Amino acid sequence: MRSIGVVTGSRAEARCLSGLAGRIVCSGADAGRARRESERLAGEVEGLVSFGLAGALAPDLREGELLLPGEVIVPDGRRIATDAAWRAHLTTLADARSGPLLGSDQLIESVTAKTALHRASGAVALDMESHLVALAASATGLPFVVIRAVTDPADQALPAVARVALDAEGRVRMLAV
């Protein structure tokens, strides 16, 4: 295989993969950039990975839990399956949840919104890049997988600082934080 393309939201997530093979890009938690980078990578690699953090929607998910979703739900409601063989291989390496992951182009901050999204979609968690990776992979016929860790439980609102924490390059904006 030529290489794997990995899309993350932040530089900190990307650093977790330093030294591993593959092409790693960071969206800076910007949907437009995540879309462009996913589409660009899809033309250059033989498979895609969405890697990083996700917010819990299911009330039983806890911080630090690993997610290997079987499908990604895009904002229009379509469901795109992740690659079963890749997911099966990864589950031999670590115990993980496989429930659906919901994609969002915007940060979801409130407990009320998280609860409503869980009820409406059945998704166990949410992030801002995986649906764009899924769409790019689906459009080009590439295999893809999602590897995410839960950062915030469903019953915890995100602090206001989450809206300004990253710059366009995915670096933490220390002065803003």
For 100-115, the pLDDT digits (tens) are: 999 998 888 789 999 9
CA nearest to 45, candidates 170, 136, 129: 136
Please say whether the beta carbons of 65 and 147 come within 8 A.
Answer: no
What is the percentage of the chain residues whose pLDDT exceeds 70?
87
Q: How confident is the model at residue 143 (pLDDT cuts 50, 70, 90)?
A: very high
For 147-172, the pLDDT digits (tens) are: 999 988 999 886 554 444 555 555 55
CA nearest to 62, candidates 125, 109, 20: 125
CA pair distance 150, 18, nearest whole angstrom: 21
Half-sphere exposure of 142 (CA within 13 A, CB side): 28
| Single pTM value for the model | 0.86
63 CB burial (10 A radius; 0-12, 13-18, 19+): exposed
CA pair distance 133, 145, nearest whole angstrom: 9
